[in-house]
Amino acid sequence: MNLKANVGAFSNIYGGLGQYDVGKYNAPTIGSPFGVGETLTAQYSLGGNYMLSLEDGVMGRTGKMPIGPGPIISIDGAFNPSIPSSWVHHAHAGIASQGRIPWVFSLHYISNWAQDERDQIDDPRTPSSTSRAVPIRK
């Protein structure tokens, strides 16, 4: 049994197409949660070349700006007070073989939500998602 805890500010990559990173396409196929939080991993040898892996983590996004100064129009939306702080919960279970041809089969669950009760500032770059653009049905 191998237990590992990762705590602090970091990122995880799930579904990378390379052996040690995301590969030549530079994008994970499952997800890449990042922020401040924790990830707990347990690996158990099933004998032979097989390994069972379980992982669970919760992260909060960094860089949230407080409401007050007004929206900042930026390309990536970073540090924009109109975007609420978000949280990510992720859980993973899988089995791997380290034989002549290594393989991994995993199930992944990733949930992202905002838990920000402050009034949000309307972002002028998103007219289709504002309440003014939503038709009122009577």
46 vs 49: CA distance, rounded Å:
8
What is the pLDDT, as a whole number, of residue 3? 96
What is the pLDDT, as a whole number, of residue 95? 96
pTM above 0.85, yes or no: no
10 Å Cβ neighbour count for 110? 16
Rounded mean pLDDT for each run of 10 residues along the chain, 138 residues in total: 93 75 69 87 92 94 59 56 76 92 89 70 58 52
DSSP output for 33-80: -EEEEEEEEEEEEEETTEEEEEEEEEEE-S-PPPSSS-----SS-TT-
Domain segments of the chain as ranges: 2-121
What is the pLDDT, as a whole number, of residue 15? 74
